[in-house]
Amino acid sequence: MRAMGYLAETIGSAEDFLKFDRMRNTACLIADVQMPQMSGLDLHRRLLASGVFIPTILMTAYPDDGVRARALKAGVLCYLTKPFTKEDLLSCIDSALDRGEAGRRRNDNSA
């Protein structure tokens, strides 16, 4: 991500991300579907339940149409199956950043 010009942080687990001091400043979350203790989809749902909207991209090496459908229904922006192209990932990131900016503008106007 850094090589493509993005400021990126690597976090060890979903639980660590929930404790991350800059979590609310995150413009885009990229997580694996299958992680120890908490899946990427569960992380996304937990963020939403706590009122934190971060455009989320999930990736997986084990595609599952049911998980994909649940993820997209829950508001996950992209569900990428490995291997995916750099262009696919960049397209999802661009969409996430656009969506995040639109959400910030909406929140600023409602104050």
Domain range annotation of the chain: 21-109
Summary mean pLDDT of the chain? 89
Indicate the fold that domain 21-109 takes in CATH.
Rossmann fold (3.40.50)
Nearest to 31 by CA among 80, 103, 102, 69: 80
The single residue listed with the structure tokens 């971060």 is 54
Average confidence (pLDDT) over 68-73: 97
Is the pLDDT at 64 greater than 50, yes or no? yes
Please classify residue 89 by burial: count the beta carbons closer than 10 Å to its beta carbon, then call 0-12 exposed, 13-18 middle and 19+ buried. middle
101 pLDDT band, cuts 50/70/90, is low
CB 43 within 8 A of CB 14: yes
